A and B are shown apart, each in its own frame.
Chain A
Amino acid sequence: MRMHRSARTMFVLIFSIVLVLALAPMRGLTQQDFPTRPITFVVGFAPGGGADVFARALADSAKGILPQAIAVENRAGAGGTAANAYVSGRPADGYTLLFAHAGSSIITPLITNQPQLKWDAFDPVARIHGEEEWLFVRPDAQWKTPEELITFAKANPRRVRVAGSAIGGIDSFVVLAWEKAAGISLQYIPHEGGGPAALTFLGGNAEMLVGNVSEVFQHIQARRAVPFLVASERRSSIFPTVPTMKEKGWDVVYAQWRSVMAPQGVPPSRIAALTTAFQKALGATSWKRFNENAKAVDLFLGPAEFRQFLVNEEARLTRVIDDLGLRRR
């Protein structure tokens, strides 16, 4: 009796496995035979951080679009480049993807002299979204306009303290580029991340804060922080009354963009399938809600345009890195 039952269970199990295996390629046929098994999305940062949350939300939104699931894998370390090293050694079959942003794919490889881990060692799949870079002041700030601030900063070099994330991150580049463009000198206070920087600012230990709006949005509503300038091409839809740095005459345009890359040599048809899937995922309700909560904007670019963007971005960031003297020679 017992034998009989376990044999039957076994049969049902094997039958269902065969059924699943038989059906899986059939669904895949409509999608150019790819993907037929789950895709791994490797994130070079610890779980719970901005990069990780982004990757998980993207994987979740692509769920119904790709016939296979996307599994997020964290390989934190070495400023994100540990994941670059890992992914570059994986087979170029489109089943291993890499999370990439300016820090992990351009800045850190450059300053740590690891050109083999830079963005051009990978195939760009898509630029997905980005968070605008903002400068905030406190509601009781003595300057009402950027011009007043510049006058004060010129008369008092290094008196205006700006809290932001680590030197070598986009935050620090915004401030450095602004100092150069406006001919001022500020006191930049680096932190381990956006959260600690916000605490220094909210605690009254810095006059300004540079960073993304997501961490301070509710503090703006609570009248503890005021958006002052945005480092984007056009005015942001989040606070349309806030001027861009560009319209004030300073060519400072930076965004914290996030993207997907693949090991070099993935067949173009597979890259195209992935790009299309991600583009569709950006229309999903879950993604839209995530983006709105994260105060991020869609910055979708396909492989060709994204590659061109990366060429320009690298040239631009290289200049700032050399201005800061961060590159090892």
Chain B
Amino acid sequence: MNFLQSLLTGFATALQGWGLLVMVAGVAWGIIGGAIPGISGAVAMALALPYTFGMDAATALVMLAGVWAGANYGGSIPAILMRMPGTPGSAAALMDGYELTRQGHASKALGISLVCGTIGGLISIIVLIAMVVPLGNLVLAFGSPETFALALFGLTLIAGLSEKSFLKGLASGFFGLLLTTIGLDTLTGSIRFTFGRSELLSGVDIISIMIGLFAVSEMFWQIAHPRRVAMEPVSRAHTAFPTFAELRAVGRATFVGTIVGLIVGIMPGAGATASSFVAYNEARRWSKRPDLFGKGSMEGVAAPETANNAVQGGDLVPTLALGIPGSNSAAIMLAALILHGIVPGPFLLSKHPALVFTLFAGLILVNLLMIPVGIVILRGCLVALRLAPPALVASILAIIVVGTYAADLFILNPLLALIFGIVGYGMRVYGFSAAATVLGLVLGFLAESELRRSLLISLGSWTIFFTRPISAALMVLTFGVLVYPAVLHIRDRWRLRQTLAGTATGPAHK
């Protein structure tokens, strides 16, 4: 009763004065910022941070929450339309999203991404509101071994991404893992593979490489193989909102995405990007049509998009319950709190309940606002498809150069995008998987640092991964996922041989 009352008061506080306008502005900026390559969710929030100084703490938090939610969705607009991930978290949705665009279903894919993302975001916020305190204690059960086990589990997706040759897929994945070793090593302080470039000390810019492998290579491909891509007439854009039947068809993927997003969000080390890839893999495993994945599956868009929005609720668990940010975006929320003179930590809930409940209400509201604001912006973006291919290719390449440069102001980043555009083109020609490289890139840092940290914690003993329940469960799952297809394969061959033997010996008997 008291709880409901607090939440209703929260809604009233969030909506008073300029509240609604601030939220709409936050969501709109988030979507636009997220759509610009180089501006990730955290950067979009950081750019909005100075504008919140004049607001009271609650309004500031709600606005930043709006930017955060918006950016999670915004990144997928260029990913689906142009094969250009606006944020790292949208890279998983690109695989099927862009296929759908090529088949003429761009607005459908964007609509599914918007609605499913909103559903994932809303459910995760409701779970957050209901269980922030018990989940806060669960956060501490996720240590380095658990995060490593999750990264390993995520890497099994390499198998799914290597279509023609498993060996080539594995090589592509390892190439991505190798790229993440560049930079100053946290665990030893030594410098690895920077070739004297100080820009590489903090590691390679993941989004520049992603854009190179996916978007630049695709532009080169279109230049080399000019053909009219089947594009949907923009006049049909109003059908973007998915029908109930279409939503039901991706219901299972949305459910999987929500669960994955929540769990990965709660894990302190992993965030939106890792969750979207794991969700993509799991959605395929549980799908009735796994063969469609990679060839334009709506479920392949729904699952990662749901997951990267559902991460928001999970990320806020350690942030609100422990005062330790679950991601870069959550860190900006904490910075806003500190700059408003509020100390985050385990007593935030008991000392500032009104503020927390306003944030909860605001989170629900901004996730709801995503749909109207998203549809308005999405319609504007669909106009891009009306451009003639040469103009489209040229403008995308221009956006890529500006976007990758603007993020860190390093000229190296647009160069990386260009170089990896050529690499990605070569990979496509010779049947390697650029997606597997991106997966290695996304999970490599996590896998390496958490593996080594786990071994420091265990004083060198490898049993640590199997003596802790969550880690052991994930390890068994990973093993099962790797072995199960082989077992099935052997069983099928054995059965085939049995029937063959049966038909061969049958007539001889009689």
Contact = CB atoms under 8 A, between A and B. Distances in A.
A169 B111 CA distance: 46
B409 interface: yes
Interface string A228-255: 0000000000000000000000000000
B396 interface: no
B457 A293 contact: no
B206 to A, nearest CB: 13
Interface string A156-169: 00110100001110
Interface in B158-198: 184-191, 198
A161 B464 CA distance: 15
B199 A77 contact: yes
A189 B341 CA distance: 32
A199 B324 contact: yes
A159 B343 CA distance: 34
Given A77-B201, A199-B322, A200-B144, 13 more contacts: A46-B328, A47-B49, A78-B202, A82-B408, A112-B184, A112-B191, A167-B186, A187-B459, A190-B453, A196-B269, A222-B346, A290-B338, A293-B338
A192 B347 contact: no
Interface residues of B, number: 54
Interface string B489-509: 000000000000000000000
Contact of B198 (A85, A158, A188, A224): A85
A198 interface: yes
A252 to B, nearest CB: 19
Nearest to A76: B408
Given A48-B42, A77-B410, A191-B186, A158 B459 contact: yes
| Residue among B46, B268, B345 facing the most chain A CB atoms (10 A cut-off) | B345
A289 interface: yes
A24 interface: no
10 contacts: A46-B328, A53-B339, A60-B339, A75-B408, A82-B410, A111-B189, A166-B184, A200-B457, A218-B346, A293-B343
Contact of B449 (A53, A192, A222): A192
A326 B187 CA distance: 12
Interface in A56-107: 56-57, 60, 72, 74-79, 81-82, 85-86
A114 interface: yes
B318 to A, nearest CB: 7
A192 B452 CA distance: 13
B390 to A, nearest CB: 35
B335 interface: yes
Nearest to A224: B346
Contacts of B198: 78, 81-82, 85, 112, 114
Contact of A218 (B184, B323, B410, B453): B323
B325 interface: yes
B141 A77 contact: no
B139 interface: yes
A2 interface: no
Contacts of B268: 195-196, 199
Interface residues of A, number: 62
Contacts of B324: 195-196, 198-199, 215
Contacts of B347: 218, 221-222
A73 to B, nearest CB: 10
A202 B410 CA distance: 38
A49 to B, nearest CB: 7
Contacts of A188: 456
Interface string B313-347: 00000100011110010011011001101110111
Given A53-B339, A167-B187, A324-B189, A78 B199 contact: yes
A293 B351 CA distance: 14
Interface string A132-149: 000000000000000000
B229 interface: no
Interface string A20-42: 00000000000000000000000
A205 B332 contact: no
B4 to A, nearest CB: 27
A202 B453 contact: no
| Residue among B53, B142, B323 facing the most chain A CB atoms (10 A cut-off) | B323
Contact of A79 (B184, B323, B409): B184
Nearest to B203: A77
Contacts of A76: 202, 408
Contacts of A205: 143-144, 457
B377 interface: no
A328 B323 contact: no
A61 to B, nearest CB: 11
A65 to B, nearest CB: 17
Nearest to B145: A205
| Residue among B184, B185, B323, B324 facing the most chain A CB atoms (10 A cut-off) | B324
A43 B175 CA distance: 33
A47 B334 CA distance: 11
B38 to A, nearest CB: 13
